[in-house]
Structure 1
């Protein structure tokens, strides 16, 4: 059984893509010490977690529990290793999608993961890890993601006013810590800028890796970085002009391709 299980359940737009890419890039080096289940390993759990976050239907939570339990039961033997389960969508959808205002579903979801992990491996230490970001930076990044990936036409000032509660990630960390009976650790993206492995370093600090092994790990470039405000404004205009998804998506794809090739 694993000696420790770390559930990294969010939040979106806090360097999670870079963190997961770093773990994946170094998976061979880490293999003797760490087992990984990343977002692409658990698409069915991610889909169910997103579904629960939108309406918090008890039946949707049962689906989350069933799928997470199936994953835990299917794990191979991993004696004395640390199991890292990492996907920002384990906290649900990114707030701003439809009527989703905040991360209110996250404490319920994370409690469910903790409960199932503890039942499956009662002797293992189960930790919760949450990556965070300042409210101002999170709002800017979340807005960019929605304009790029959805039909959002709201301007940034209106978005910031509407979703300010969602941006207070430290408050949600406190809420989760008060409701999940496990150690909860959090680290802000702003505090990772000078770390050798960026946002992956604070998570790896919880794994008690030999220092000689840490020195062998390689960094990856930051992932999913935003382009300039001119690109953002062009995509926002495309959302406002084009009424069909096909036309809207084609226009934004062309905008992004031009910007990346410039």
Structure 2
């Protein structure tokens, strides 16, 4: 069984893609010390967590619990290693999707994960890690993500006014810590700028990896960086212009292609 289980559950737009890319890039080097389950290993589970954050119905929560249980049951033997489960969607959808205004589903989801992990591995140390970000840059990044990936038509000021409550990630960390009976660690993206592996370093600190191995790990370039303002405005206009998803997506794909360096 694992000696430690770390549930890294977001939040979105806090360097999570870079963290997962770093873990994946170094998975062979880490293998003796860390077992990884990243977002692409649990597509069914994150589909259910997104659904629960949207609907908050008991049936979807049962689906979440069932899929996390299967994730636990399907794990291979990993004696004395640290199990890292990392996906920002473990906290639900990115606020701003449909009527979803905040991360209030996160404490419920994380309590369910803790309860299942404890039942499966009662002797393992369980902890939660939450990456955070200052409110203003989080709002800007979340807005850009919605413009790029959905049919968002709000301008930024209206988006920021509506979803400002969701940007209090430190407040949500405190809420999780008050409701899930395990240590809750967190680190702001802004404080990771000068770290050798960027936002992945605070998570790796919790894995007790030998210092000699840490020095050998490979850094990766920042992932999923924000769009330029001209590209963002062009995509916003495409969202406002095209009613069909197919036409909208085709227009935005063309905008992205034209924005690539040649």
Q: TM-score, normalised by structure 1?
A: 0.99
How many angstroms does 1:94 deviate by? 0.4
2:11 aligns with: 11
CA contact (8 A) 2:144 2:227 kept: no
2:259 aligns with: 259
CA distance in 1, matches of 2:237, 2:65: 41
1:119 aligns with: 119
1:215 aligns with: 215
How many angstroms does 1:261 deviate by? 2.7
2:66 aligns with: 66
CA distance in 2, matches of 1:169, 1:55: 21
CA distance in 2, matches of 1:241, 1:45: 34
Unmatched segments (≥5 aa) in structure 2: none
Considering only aligned residues, what root-mean-square deviation do their CA atoms show, in Å? 0.6
Query: What are the superposed Cα offsets for residues 148-186 of structure 1, whole Å, 9 maximum, x if unpaired?
Result: 011111000000000001010000000000000000000
Q: Secondary structure at the match of 1:261?
A: coil
CA distance in 1, matches of 2:148, 2:227: 11
1:2 has 2:2 as partner = yes
2:171 aligns with: 171
Q: Secondary structure at the match of 1:185?
A: strand
Q: TM-score, normalised by structure 2?
A: 0.99
How many angstroms does 1:244 deviate by? 1.1
Unmatched segments (≥5 aa) in structure 1: none
> For this pair of structures, how many residues does the alignment match?
262
> After TM superposition, what 4+ stretches of structure 1 lie above 6 angstroms from structure 2?
none
Q: Secondary structure at the match of 2:50?
A: helix
How many angstroms does 1:139 deviate by? 0.3
CA distance in 2, matches of 1:243, 1:120: 48
Q: Secondary structure at the match of 1:127?
A: strand
2:161 aligns with: 161
CA distance in 2, matches of 1:232, 1:104: 28
2:135 aligns with: 135
Query: What are the superposed Cα offsets for residues 23-79 of structure 1, whole Å, 9 maximum, x if unpaired?
Result: 000000000000000000000100000000001101110000000001101111100
